[in-house]
C-alpha cells in the first residue's frame, strides 16, 4: 500500500515573486528568469523529478514522485531519511539583488504513537558560508496533512552579493524515526506532498536595490 502511495504521490515546489516582496521592498520592473541548474538527492533521484518554468519565467515547479521517508514494515534501512537539493541561477535586472524572505512547506504524514518526523531546510548562496537552516518537528500519533513556514526577519535576510554570479541552493530533508513504536508491525512515513498530490512549496523573494 505504501509503495503504491509513493508511486502515486506528487509534490510540487514553486518559487514565486510576490507583488510586494518583503515589507518595504519593490520587485524589479523588468523581466526575471530562473534557471534550474541541478536537482539531486535521494528524495528526487534521476528520472523522478520534473522541472517546469512558468511562461512568465517568474516561477518554476518541481514535480516529485518519490519524496517519501519511512520506517517500519516495507521500508528499507536507508528510507528513514530523504533529501533533495535544488541549485538555481536567478537572473535579475542590473541594479537589483534578492534574498528569500519566507518559505511555505506542505506535505502528508502518518506517524504511529511514539514515532516522530522532521522536516529540515537550508538555504545558501554558492561559495558563501552564511547558511540559513530551519527545522520543524512532529510526533505521533499523526495521520494528516502537515504545514511548515520558515520566516526570516527583514534585517536577517541574506542577499545575493551585488555584481557577482552565485547560484542559490535550497536543500530540503524529511526524516522519520520509529522511536518507541514497533517497526516490526507498523509503518510511519512523511511525504513532501499530500494524499491527492496537490501541494505546493512556495519560496517568496525579497528584493532591494544595489548601491
Cell of 119: 522536516
Closest CA to 109 of 83, 84, 138: 138
Of all residues in the chain, what percent carry a pLDDT higher than 70?
75
Q: pLDDT value at position 135?
A: 95
pLDDT digits (tens, 9 = 90+) for 17-67: 444 444 445 667 776 777 888 889 999 888 777 666 666 555 566 677 788
Q: What is the pLDDT of residues 14-27, one digit of tens each?
A: 545 444 444 445 66
Here the cell at position 115 is 514515532
Tell me how far apart the alpha carbons of residues 59 and 56 are, in angstroms, rounded to a whole number: 8
Which residue's entry shows cell 508511486?
A: 7
**pLDDT computed for residue 203 by the predictor:** 75
Place of cell 518559505: 103
Q: Return the exposure string of 142-162: e unless at least 16 CB atoms fall within 10 Å of the residue's CB, then b.
A: beeebebebebeeeebbebee
Task: Give pTM, 2 decimals.
Answer: 0.78
Contacts of 139 by beta carbon, 8 Å cutoff, 6+ apart: 111, 115, 116, 117
Amino acid at each position: 500500500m505504501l509503495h503504491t502511495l509513493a508511486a502515486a504521490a506528487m509534490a510540487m515546489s514553486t518559487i514565486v515573486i510576490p507583488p510586494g516582496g518583503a515589507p518595504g521592498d519593490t520587485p524589479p520592473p523588468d523581466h526575471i528568469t530562473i534557471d534550474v541548474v541541478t536537482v539531486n538527492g535521494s528524495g528526487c533521484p534521476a528520472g523522478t523529478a520534473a522541472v517546469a518554468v512558468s511562461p512568465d519565467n517568474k516561477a518554476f515547479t518541481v514535480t516529485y514522485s518519490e519524496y517519501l521517508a519511512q520506517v517500519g514494515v516495507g521500508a528499507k534501512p536507508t528510507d528513514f531519511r530523504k533529501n533533495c537539493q535544488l541549485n538555481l541561477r536567478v537572473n535579475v535586472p542590473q541594479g537589483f539583488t534578492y534574498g528569500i524572505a519566507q518559505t511555505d512547506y506542505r506535505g502528508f504524514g502518518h506517524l504511529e504513537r511514539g514515532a516522530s518526523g522532521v522536516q529540515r531546510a537550508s538555504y545558501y548562496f554558492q561559495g558563501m558560508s552564511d547558511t540559513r537552516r530551519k527545522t520543524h518537528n512532529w510526533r505521533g500519533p499523526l495521520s494528516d496533512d502537515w504545514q511548515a513556514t520558515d520566516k526570516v526577519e527583514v534585517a536577517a535576510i541574506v542577499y545575493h552579493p551585488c555584481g557577482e554570479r552565485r547560484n542559490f541552493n535550497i536543500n530540503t530533508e524529511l526524516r522519520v524515526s520509529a522511536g518507541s513504536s514497533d517497526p516490526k508491525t507498523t509503518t510511519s512515513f512523511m511525504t513532501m506532498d499530500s494524499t491527492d498530490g496537490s501541494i505546493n512549496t512556495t519560496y517568496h523573494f525579497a528584493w532591494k536595490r544595489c548601491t
